[in-house]
Structure 1
Amino acid sequence: MPSFFKQKKNNKDRRNKRDNRPSPSIDCSLDANLAHIKQKTGNSADVITRTLTVGNEFKTDIALVYVDGIVDSQSINDFLIEAILEKHELNEKLMQQEAFNVMKEGVVAVGSVKPIKDWDELFSSLMSGETIIFIDKVNGALSADTKGGERRSIEEPTTQVNIMGPKVGFTESLGTNMAMVRRIIKNTNVWVEPLKVGKVTNTDVTIMYINGIANEKIIKEVRERLKSIDIDSVLDSGYIEVFIEDEATTPFPTLYRAERPDVVASNLLEGRIAIFVDGSPFVLVVPAVFVQFFQTADDYYFRSDIATSLRFLRVLIFIISIFAPALYIAATTFHHEMIPTKLLIVIAAQRETVPFPAFFEAVLMEVTFEILREAGVRLPKPVGTAVSIVGALVVGQAAVEAGVVSAAMVIIVAITAIANFATPNFAMAISLRLLRFGFMIAAATFGIYGIVLGGILLMVHLSSLRSFGVPYMTPLSPFIPGNTDDTVVRLPLWKFNKRPELIADNDNLTRQGENQMPGPDDKRGMINSSLDKDDRNES
């Protein structure tokens, strides 16, 4: 696998030097610790400090520090404050060296409690929604997991809408997203590796894969690419994507974004790795291949013949989205013999009053439609829908009546736009919209020869792409006969005997037993025959 880090070596070395600097230890003075927290957080109003005094004869001060809004206040009240106040006999034990062990084992009633020795770890835990516990005259602190706050409930996905299958999508909660995948794959081999990315935001990023199925080389590459990121902030998975993709100068997406837990689970079972980013409802799945962007979860919930028909339709959609305006420009400008005579007469009559060449017509209508589409997305939903529909109808009809464009061009642009909307993956749909303009220029310059040349260059470019070292066009290029059961043609599920060879671990490619084809065996046939005989006797 090609190395990814030569160009980032200097940045990585500087970051390692910065990260290796020792963090100051926590003082034993409660007042000094609380003062340091106030100074570091600018005495922020949402950083709450609650001081408690326990003991009768020997008084001991305990302080709880947390950030309001990202913690579960009910857990703090019930399992921390009340638990500490009820343990009156702790005052002498808390003066001893094992004070935090006493708190951890006999007082604090939350799920995860860990000791903290330095300030960097303390502030990282504090800003992640954990509650920090200080004990006066005792070095260090305790961190209790009290993460909470307001979160969006689980809803149906907005970009990967399916007819059949689960109706749940990821949310902005990292823990909720991973839990949804674990509910599908109930296996101890689903391993999770947490990371922190972003010097300022300290965003939680998690790698999930199935041990024994995922390729160790790809896992290592994903881990190293994520660790090499040196950036201030990570606000969404899109920030991660641009730093770890293999090729930055391509319009095609080389990482797959999933909004559905069943899609992520199915990719994990094929040997891929999922990258979760806290605060993002989109999970990155790597490595990605070209045919993957034309597949939907519905394909595996329908029969194979229906799924295959839908995939052939998506191939036709792909061709229309890229080539339809370019073919019209080439035919009406250079190659009139390609158009039937009667249709050519109709088009010529329409274009008689149009002052612009076909290329300018196409560019004008495509840009206008892109403006209407962007306006429909950015405006509030009720207004945006009206603008998209009414705007397209009014602008198209007015342009034809004014003689600016021909009616045939409006039809071509409309069919192209509808085909683009039918593309299953949004990232791929945007790529096709950009490529369309390139083929329009080639058609206006060289006619059909320009389109053919552009198509050849497009195939060469696709064949040269890699996603974490895996060829983008696999299993078509390089051709792998054993992995073609889930490409343009989707064979029945009982034919899926092997995992993708270049993606999964080569020692664990088998994913189901042989001879899974359904059908009555001899015993079942005998049972059916006896049932038929009984029915005849009763009649």
Structure 2
Amino acid sequence: MLKILRKIFYKEMPSQNQPAQKDDRLHRDLKSNLDHLRSIYENCYDVSFRTFLIGGKTNAALLYIEGLVNKEQIENNVLATLMSKETGKITPHEILEEKIHISHIKEIQAFSDCVDNVSMGNPVLLVDHEAQGFALGLGQWKMRAVEEPSAEAVIRGPREGFVESMGVNTALLRRKIKSPDLKMETMSVGKYTSTNVVVAYIQGLANQTLIEEVKKRLNRIQIDGVLETGYIEELIEDYPVSPFPQLLTTERPDVAAANLLEGRVVIMVNGTPFVLIAPAGFFAFFQSADDYYNRYFNGSAIRLLRFFFMVVSIVLPSFYVAVLTYHQEMVPTNLLLSMASSRESVPFPALIEAMMMEITFEALREAGLRLPKQVGAAVSIVGALVIGQAAVQAGIVSAPMVIVVALTGIASFMVPRYAQGIALRLLRFPIILLAGTLGLLGIMLGLILIVVHLCKLRSFGVPYLSPFAPLETRQLKDVFVRAPWWKLQTRPHLTGNYNKYRQAPDQKPNANE
């Protein structure tokens, strides 16, 4: 029954490779074509139908959407040339080939092709007594300049990021990887938006099974519209109910290029600067571009620091609650007396106190993100200094709890990927509840459940904890630490057969040579 309903409400649009239906083909009569197209674009004030005479003799019309085309080129290069008296003696095909200087001109035979090209910003030329139209590559619209992504800033490295234009994004990727083996296959997703989606991979590095699986999952999507990669991410991931992301997102072309060189697949969506990378494991979310651009000693130390503070962000508040509630004997006497005196006026148990402080901290962080930058910084300072100090003086919370929550918040900022960071932040709350009810046993139970869940996860068939579980010792050189480049000779083993070596052996510099 569900399949029947899907066929009724989501009729598959004919692809560009399929022949047009008989009633969808353009007619030789220009008036019939225009009447049909005007009925399609009824109540669309931004769609223009410009009728004119070619060479003063042949009726023609130009169809385009205001704001998506280069009107200066249309007026100076197209209309001025077509309406010239000199064009009256030659055919429209000869005019387009000899007179109009446009790099991209495509013949179309169907009304659906007209609608697709007009929606993409390509004006369509229709000529009387011609059973086809001509899509002119004159699309142009305002776009954001290429600039450094604010969420993925690096100390050393390129200062450019993806933008909302697919053409610019593919060009940024081509600048990084100049080989013709970089393939980009396009498809349309969304019944009404017809969003352009590009699947990029390097032929010979990415496993063909992985490529086919990515395209299969994209082709089975039937949805009204796709406005961002988040739509696609939820529809193609292996375990949609898991709090952990199974695809990597980035705004940086260099990060996308580095993953392509490791045999992964990049999914780009028109209208958003964020691209998806598949497959992605747990440890990939703790890697930053800075790790590879700086010396490997520095990168390894920072990466180890991230893993340490990741554990701190999950365990510290729950450990504090468990110790105060059930395991006071673990605390040195002097410290225990100090903590007891600070909690003397607090009316709440440690569990309620921790939950209140964590929820308040998350609210302050979210408010700082959503407000303008100038106001957001002020909100963070007010929340950290004024509210925290006032809460301690009022006896609502204790000073040690404020310190614990502040350290936990700082530790959570160490995760370079927002999607993974928010997943770890959300898991902190059930572990605090387990610590408040079962003590340290509850913390261990919560961590065991998380590890078991991570072991079950897959990202396009690749184990989420790979290469740590299952253990592959040769690939541990770029997990907890980043080995020097002359030791990273092999690519990660993702799926099936793969191109094993990415550099020649004996790349280590030798001072004696």
Q: Normalising by the residue count of structure 1, what TM-score does the alignment of the two structures yield?
A: 0.90
What is the CA–CA distance in structure 2 between the aligned matches of 1:16 and 1:221, rounded to whole Å? Answer: 23
Q: 1:499 & 1:200 partners in 2: Cα distance? A: 40
Deviations 1:458-479 (A, max 9, x none): 1111111001111111111111
1:52 aligns with 2:44: no
The corresponding residue for 2:504 is: 513
C-alpha separation in 1, matches of 2:485 and 2:75: 52
Q: Is the 8 A contact 2:55 2:82 kept in 1?
A: no
Equivalent in the alignment of 1:497? 489
Name the counterpart of 1:476: 468
Contact 2:309-2:414 at 8 Å conserved across structures? yes
Secondary structure at the counterpart of residue 364 of structure 1 = helix
Per the alignment, residue 440 of structure 1 pairs with 432
The answer to whether residue 313 in structure 2 is matched with residue 316 in structure 1 is: no
Unaligned runs of 5+ in 2: none
Which residue pairs with 1:530 in the alignment? Answer: none
1:409 to 372, 378, 401: 401
- The 1:356–1:14 alpha-carbon spacing in structure 2 relative to 1, beyond 3 Å, is closer
Give the structure 2 partner of residue 68 of structure 1. 66
**Partner SS, residue 159 of structure 1:** helix
1:37, distance to aligned residue in structure 2 (A): 2.1
Contact 1:8 1:228 in 2 (8 A): no
| Residue in 1 that maps onto 2:410 | 418
| Amino acid corresponding to residue 497 of structure 1 in structure 2 | Q
Corresponding residue of 2:137: 145
After TM superposition, list the pairs within 5 Å mapping 1:236-315 onto structure 2: 236-315=228-307
1:316 CA drift (Å): 1.1
Cα distance in 2 for residues equivalent to 1:255 and 1:17: 27
1:358 matched residue in structure 2 = 350
Which of 370, 373, 376 is equivalent to 2:368?
Answer: 376
Tell me how far 1:16 sits from its aligned partner.
6.5
Moved over 6 A (4+): 7-10
Deviates more, 1:276-285 or 1:142-151: 142-151
Deviation at 1:103, TM superposition (A): 4.1
Which stretch of structure 1 is more off in the superposition, 390-399 or 289-298?
A: 390-399
Q: Which amino acid aligns with 2:82?
A: I
**1:43-100 superposed Cα distances (whole Å, 9 cap, x missing partner):** 42211222231236xx1122211111112223323432233234x4543443xxxx4x
Q: Map residues 123-142 of structure 1 onto 2, 5 A cutoff.
A: 123-142=115-134
Query: 1:110-142 deviations in whole A, cap 9, x for unaligned?
Result: 221111111112101100111101111211211
Question: Does residue 91 of structure 1 match 2:88?
Answer: yes
Contact 1:71 1:148 in 2 (8 A): yes
Q: Report SS of the residue matched to 1:363.
A: helix
Sort the Cα spacing of 1:498 and 1:179 in 2 relative to 1 into closer, same or farther, 3 A: same
1:164 to 135, 156, 160: 156
Alpha-carbon shift at residue 17 of structure 1 (Å): 6.1
Instruction: Report the alpha carbon displacement of residue 13 of structure 1 after superposing the two structures with TM.
Output: 9.8
Name the structure 2 match of 1:527. Answer: none
- Look up the equivalent residue of 1:45 and give its one-letter code: Y
The question of whether the paired residues in 1 share the 8 Å contact of 2:207 and 2:498 is answered with no
| Matched-pair contact (CA < 8 Å) for 1:75–1:146 | yes
For residues 278 and 9 of structure 1, do their structure 2 counterparts lie closer, same or farther at Cα, with a shift above 3 Å needed? farther
**Residue pair 1:322, 1:432 contacting (<8 A) in 2 also:** yes
DSSP 3-state at the match of 1:153: coil
Q: Separation in 2 of the partners of 1:9 and 1:263?
A: 42
| Partner secondary structure for residue 134 of structure 2 | strand
- Quote the residue 1:333 is aligned against: 325
Distance in 2 between residues matched to 1:242 and 1:13, nearest whole Å:
23
Q: Is the 8 A contact 1:274 1:286 kept in 2?
A: yes
- In the TM superposition, residue 254 of structure 1 has moved relative to its aligned partner by 0.3
Amino acid corresponding to residue 135 of structure 1 in structure 2: V
Unaligned ranges ≥5, structure 1: 1-6, 525-539
Q: Does 1:105 align with 2:97?
A: yes
State the one-letter code of the partner of 2:508. M
**Equivalent pair of 1:38/1:44 in contact (CA under 8 Å):** no
Letter in 1 for 2:407: I
| Residue aligned with 2:152, SS | coil
Q: Distance in 2 between matches of 1:518 and 1:75?
A: 55
Secondary structure at 2:49's aligned position in 1?
Answer: strand
Q: Tell me how far apart the structure 2 counterparts of residues 17 and 229 of structure 1 sit (CA, whole Å).
A: 10
Secondary structure in structure 2 of the residue aligned to 1:317: helix
Deviation at residue 262 of structure 1 after TM alignment: 0.3
3-state SS, counterpart of residue 148 of structure 1: coil
- What's the CA shift for 1:320? 1.2
| Whole-angstrom CA distance in 2 between matches of 1:286 and 1:374 | 28
Q: Secondary structure at the match of 2:198?
A: strand
Q: Aligned pair in 2 of structure 1 residues 507, 403: CA closer, same or farther (>3 Å)?
A: closer
